[in-house]
Amino acid sequence: MPAKIVTLTLNPALDKSTEISHLVPEQKLRCGPLQLDAGGGGINVSKAIQRLGGKSLAVFPAGGHNGKVLCELLKKEGVKTNALPVPGETRENISVLESASNAQYRFTLPGLQISENQADECLDIIKKLKPDYLVASGSLAPGLPETYYEKVAVFAKDIGARFILDTSGAALQAAADEGLFLLKPNLAELSALAGVEKLEINEVDDAALKIIHEGKCEVVVVSLGPQGALLVTRDGFEHIPAPMVKKQSTVGAGDSMVAGMVWGLNEGKSFHEMAQIGVACGTAATMNHGTELFHAEDVWRLLEWIQKYGERYQIRDFGA
Ligand SMILES: Nc1ncnc2c1ncn2[C@@H]1O[C@H](COP(=O)(O)OP(=O)(O)OP(=O)(O)O)[C@@H](O)[C@H]1O
Ligand SMILES: [Mg+2]
């Protein structure tokens, strides 16, 4: 059976995390055990879909020993992969939790350089998979032009896949100019797309609607951190409040949200329910430490809350 959801990660990483009581300079620091995780936007989305009981296939370039470890880690989690072998070593990211302060230090190393031809080879792999949904998340690898996601947007149209993109800056702008299915910008990303320094909360719906009217996408889900999200379509907008939870770390909240939404769409859910599932997944991800995404049982509990009580906490006068 052809894969329904395919994720693309052009700048994957092997995430290494550990813990230390106090981070101090000069001294030898004795760290806790090393935890290895497969990382990178699209890969996180695939991992999160798996946790929801769904299926996807993760496509990414993989280099050297780290690339191999990345594939093994995903296999262990049951995530199907189709990695393009590339020369060089897939990057590592390092995060250190200082337990005394509960502060997390995240060191992100430069990504493995890949050529446009190699990225095109990833697209060739995807073409054969005939996905219904193509999700790209994260930054572009060094070596790729800033307009590369624009090419992916054209490609997605050619193969008849609905393209969902979660990235930022010039890469996002270029793809949006080409037009795609769904965008999930946060407030800063939406402001940049709208060409303004900072949008006020009451300008968010108009800015998102303008993007839709300009033909940049069909649906915008603006993620608003602890305030949840604003779903905007041609027909109007709806605020989905996020339940209050004890926040541990917001790492992976955006990818979890995207995963929930694409999973929901693939299950035939409406945009309304898609956005509710997205918020439930994003918020559930904040309940865990570090790079850990979410536990499915938290998602279903939070979703129930949103569906029962969300309306009470809705902001209805965004445009006021
Ligand atoms: N402090 C929080 N409390 C509750 N829910 C949160 C919080 N932060 C994020 N979320 C949930 O996660 C979703 C995505 O978060 P956010 O808007 O911060 O995305 P983002 O800026 O793209 O995140 P990322 O840094 O992962 O890219 C939100 O819509 C919300 O559901
Ligand atoms: Mg994000």
pLDDT, one tens digit for every residue, the chain (320 residues) = 445 999 999 999 999 999 999 999 999 999 999 999 999 999 999 999 999 999 999 999 999 999 999 999 999 999 999 999 999 999 999 999 999 998 889 999 999 999 999 999 999 999 999 999 999 999 999 999 999 999 999 999 999 999 999 999 999 999 999 999 999 999 999 999 999 999 988 899 999 999 999 999 999 999 999 999 999 999 999 999 999 999 888 889 999 999 999 999 999 999 999 999 999 999 999 998 878 899 999 999 999 999 998 888 888 777 65
What is the Å distance from ligand 2's center to 253 Cα? Answer: 8
Q: Which atom of ligand 1 is nearest to the CA of 185?
A: 22
pTM over cut 0.85: yes
Q: From ligand 1's centre to the CA of 302, what distance in Å?
A: 14
- Residues 232 and 220: beta-carbon distance below 8 Å: yes
Ligand 1 in reach of 161 Cβ (< 6 A): no
320 found inside a domain: no
Which ligand gives the minimal distance to the CA of 256? 1
Gap between the Cα atoms of 8 and 59, Å rounded? 5
Q: Is residue 318 part of a domain?
A: no
Atom of ligand 1 nearest to the CA of 282: 12
Residue-level pLDDT at 315 = 81
Domain membership of residue 173 (yes or no) is yes
In a domain, 277, yes or no: yes
Q: What is the pLDDT of residue 320?
A: 57
Q: Is the CB of 66 under 6 A from ligand 1?
A: no
Structure tokens at 126: 């995807």
Is 255 considered catalytic here? Answer: yes
Q: Residue 319 has what pLDDT? A: 63
In a domain, residue 183? The reply is yes
Q: Is residue 319 part of a domain?
A: no
Quick check: CB of 254 below 6 Å from ligand 1?
yes
Q: Which domain holds residue 210?
A: 5-23+31-313
Nearest to 236, CA basis, from 319, 119, 124, 125: 319
- The answer to whether residue 292 sits within a structural domain is yes
Which residue CA neighbors atom 4 of ligand 1 most closely? Answer: 226
* CATH at 206: 3.40.1190.20
d(CA 40, ligand 2 centre) in Å: 12
Q: Is residue 63 part of a domain?
A: yes
Give the number of other Cβ atoms within 10 Å of residue 46's Cβ. 31
Can you give the pLDDT at residue 35? 92
Radius of gyration of the chain (CA): 19
Domain count, the chain: 1
Ligand 1 pocket, 186 CB below 6 A? yes
Catalytic choice (124, 255, 298, 317): 255
